[in-house]
Structure 1
Amino acid sequence: MHSPGKQSVKRESQAESRDTVELWMQAVGATLLISAAPFLILFLIPVQSNSDQHQNLLKILLSFASGGLLGDAFLHLIPHALAPHSHHGNEGQSAAAEESHGHSHGVAHDHMMSVGLWVLGGIVAFLVVEKFVRLLKGGHSHSHAAPKCKDSDGEEEEEEKEKKEGAKKDQKKDKKVKKAKEESSDIKVSGYLNLAADFTHNFTDGLAIGASFLVSPAVGVVTTITILLHEVPHEIGDFAILVQSGCTKRKAMCLQLLTAIGALAGTACSLLAEGVGAAATAWILPFTAGGFVYIATVTVLPELLSGRSSVAQSVLEVAAMLFGVGMMVIIAEYE
């Protein structure tokens, strides 16, 4: 016969296993919801490719993307990286309180320096990767100038001039084609860099979701809603960058779905090792923020300045950028 003690232990272990399964289902389900919801919204965007007819709308979306990336970096990622050491409760008295305050101030200063260095590290890392990829693609600097040839039969000067002018026009056309190819290849590099930054960002979102469901289902739901509101504008911006990089609408959406693996990995890591979240955010958040700053300032903003835009188009682009920043402000306020 089984003793009452053994039966109660068995019931407790079964309850714990059920709780673990339920926890994983809730956390992973929330992560999949966050990954799928923006994907469905992208179907409504009437941009199919980086073609001339879609350039004006695409530039407005890119403006929104730059505002979202910069807002995300400066209002969400960096403040969250600073948060663990931004509030210190010094409730000691007299000299002991002063010592504690001095120590905490020193720790906070070191932490802020560390966050700043990781942001700069993210910028430099993305620059190095882009430089390296461009080197691997090979230089396009060699010219295709036509070889000069001497006329022994003494052709007329007018014919020579026409040939020279024709050769010059061909060279100019070749240079324009080469320049366009170089620009498209360069943009593609930054498009994939944006995917890498988005992957790490989704990883930190996954860490947050897992940690929140470990606290309680209610906290998990609130965190999921917050991240969902934050992800929708961010994913729209990422979509615009990928389309500008030369991807079709379908390819851009599929590539964005791949970054959902980062969110699932973050959720799993957070659930398997409860303390990993705090350790990871110490460097992942500011590093990702540096990547976002690099993409917004080096890739997106120069794209908005290229070519001539009408006054109305320029106003719409600036408004879209401010709208992207404004959305991040609202989300940061209610987090």
Structure 2
Amino acid sequence: MENSGVVMAGYVPEYFFAFLEELDEHPWLFSALASILVGLSGILPLLIIPIDKTASFKDGAGAATLRILLSFAVGGLLGDVFLHLLPEAWQHDLANTKEGEHVSMKCGLWCLFGMLVFIIVEKLFAAAEAEDEEDEAKPNGPIKQIEIEEIEKLLIAERKSRGKANGEGICVGNGTVSAQQLYSTCVFNNNTKGEVACCSAVSNSNGVVKCKGSNRWMGRCLLREAREKALQVSKEKSEKKDVAGYLNLMANSIDNFTHGLAVGGSFLVGFRVGLLTTFAILVHEIPHEVGDFAILLKSGFSRWEAAKAQLATASAGLIGAMTAVMFSGARNAIEAKTSWIAPFTAGGFLHIALVTVLPDLLREDDKWESAKHLAALLAGISVMAFMTVYFG
């Protein structure tokens, strides 16, 4: 072995070894760069997921492809929990367990606690969403919309009655029309979107719409405002994100923090060890990120929103790496204080996989699609098993 080292030294310039030693002097720099590189893997699915950016995720081919990716995500999460996170947590606790203590008890409790926290968070989100929907359903709710068909009837009536002695348009008799429900939904005053003459001629008094003059196309104003309101309501509903996406981002942030700790700690040992650790984490994360991306798409995120969210969670990895470097003198203490993170994250991943994602997949009636879902799930487990065995 020594002879081979001498031979190696004969072929490799001495400044190369000096260069490697110099790299070992800057662990904080390479820890930061490696964490950023691992974080960038979060946008890789944007390039490789075979879903067109204009595809609908509710029906059609886009939805079928998304369900297959979600099945892969479930398999990847289960594989990550049972083949990586929990074994790693048990191994760490086994090395630090005193005689008479139960290793599985400690990890199991943290895993259950992680599941419980995610259940509580999802419940809170669900309660808030239910309250919003209840407000929208109230007669005087903030986004209660007028049926456009109703306004179109008023528009027709207005055009028929224009020029008659009893008033202009739908303003009849004493210049009032009982339209409290219409007014509570439409916004007439301070309109800057055109047809100002129409809208400025309308005011509200005791819940009744008044027309302040003749030759006013009040029906047109009502119709336009109703359409704008309906479009706004539709946009708000389409932009709502499911809680599953936020839960997944929370779990990923915690997981990325532990990856950052590992990267920072490895570069403290040496540059070459840091490179190997970064490569192992990167290879392990790529299939994981594909599954995470699919979960975000299912939760209502657009492709670009999902990519930005993934990059945001990557900042937790950078924080973890800097934490490991800054407290390098207390490395054992950091490991002891963060040993709960792996089983806690495992509990969160279990909740996302089995409670949030899997139930939707189980509703599939088509046998061929169900078979593809099962195959994708097994593929997710297999990929994580392969990564753990060869790059663990």
Q: Which of the five TM-score ranges fits, normalised by the shorter chain?
A: 0.7 to 0.9
The residue correspondences of 1:26-65 to structure 2 (distance < 5 A) are 26-47=30-51, 48=53, 50-53=57-60, 54-65=62-73
Q: What is the Cα deviation at residue 145 of structure 1? A: 12
Change (3 A) 1:209 1:142: closer
**Cα distance, 1:80 vs structure 2:** 1.0
Distance (whole Å) between structure 1 residues aligned to residue 341 and residue 26 of structure 2? 28
Q: Report the Cα distance in structure 2 between the residues aligned to 1:183 and 1:302, rounded to whole angstroms.
A: 22
Secondary structure at the aligned position of 1:27 is classed as helix
2:305 pairs with 1:251: yes
Which structure has the bigger radius of gyration?
A: 2
Task: Kindly provide the amino acid, as one letter, of the partner of residue 67 in structure 1.
Answer: G
| 1:269 matched residue in structure 2 | 323
Q: Residue 31 of structure 1 aligns to which amino acid in structure 2? A: S
**Counterparts of residues 157-172 of structure 1 (less than 5 Å):** none
Change in 2 beyond 3 A, CA 1:264/1:197: same
Contact 2:71 2:374 in 1 (8 A): yes
Q: Which has the higher contact order (CA 8 A, sep 6+)?
A: 1
Contact 2:24 2:270 in 1 (8 A): no
Counterparts of 2:361 and 2:277 in 1: how far apart (Å)?
34
For the pair 1:70 / 2:64, whether they are aligned, the reply is no
Which residue in the other structure is 2:117 paired with?
125
Q: CA RMSD in A?
A: 2.7
2:118 touches 2:351 (CA, 8 Å); kept in 1?
Answer: yes
Alpha-carbon separation, structure 2, partners of 1:184 and 1:265: 30
- The residue aligned with 1:216 is 270
Pick from 354, 363, 386: which aligns with 1:306? 363
1:207–1:277 CA contact under 8 A, matched in 2: no
- Aligned counterpart, 2:389: 333
What secondary structure is seen at the aligned counterpart in 2 of 1:301? Answer: helix
8 Å CA contact retained: 1:184, 1:245: no
Letter in 2 for 1:313: E
Alignment deviations for residues 217-262 of structure 1 (CA, whole Å, 9 cap, x no partner)? 1211111111011110111001000000011111111111100111
- CA distance 1:141–1:41, change in 2 (3 Å): closer
Higher helix share goes to which structure? 1
* Count of residues in Structure 1 that have an aligned counterpart in Structure 2: 267
Distance in 1 of aligned mates of 2:108 and 2:340: 10
Contact 1:208 1:277 in 2 (8 A): no
Look up the SS of the partner of 1:325 in the other structure. Answer: helix
TM-score (norm 1): 0.73
Give the alignment partner of residue 319 of structure 1, picking from 367, 372, 375: 375
Residues 38 and 282, structure 2, Cα contact 8 Å, conserved in 1: yes
Give, in angstroms, the shift of residue 270 of structure 1: 0.7
Instruction: State how far apart, in whole Å, the 1-side matches of 2:32 and 2:254 are.
Output: 17
In the TM superposition, residue 279 of structure 1 has moved relative to its aligned partner by: 2.3
Task: Determine helix, strand or coil for the equivalent of 1:43.
Answer: helix
Quick check: 1:201 aligned with 2:255? yes
Structure 1 residue 105: Cα displacement = 4.0
Contact 2:266/2:274 (<8 A) preserved:
yes
Match of 1:135 in 2: 127
Structure 2: gaps spanning 5 or more residues: 1-21, 140-235
Q: Could you give the per-residue CA deviations for residues 142-163 of structure 1, whole angstroms, max 9, x where no partner exists?
A: 99799xxxxxxxxxxxxxxxxx
Alpha-carbon separation, structure 1, partners of 2:341 and 2:67: 30
Residues 115 and 282 in structure 1, CA contact (< 8 A), matched pair in contact too: no
Judging changes above 3 Å, is the alpha-carbon distance between structure 1 residues 280 and 52 closer, same or farther for their aligned structure 2 residues? farther
Instruction: Confirm or deny: 8 A CA contact 2:364 2:370 kept in the other structure.
Output: no
In 1, Cα distance between equivalents of 2:278 and 2:138: 59
Code of the aligned partner of 1:60: I
Cα distance 1:237–1:280, how it changes in 2: closer, same or farther (>3 A)?
A: farther
Task: Give the whole-Å Cα distance in 2 for the aligned partners of 1:37 and 1:244.
Answer: 20
CA apart distance, 1:280: 3.9
Q: 1:81 aligns with which of 86, 89, 97?
A: 89
SS of the residue aligned with 2:107? helix
In the alignment, is residue 106 of structure 1 matched against residue 100 of structure 2?
A: yes
Structure 1 residue 300: Cα displacement = 0.9
Q: Distance in 1 between matches of 2:119 and 2:264?
A: 32
- Note if contact 1:50-1:248 (Cα within 8 Å) is conserved in structure 2: no
Q: Which amino acid aligns with 1:250?
A: W
Match of 2:342 in 1: 285
Give me the whole-angstrom Cα distance separating, in 1, the residues matched to 2:343 and 2:93: 14
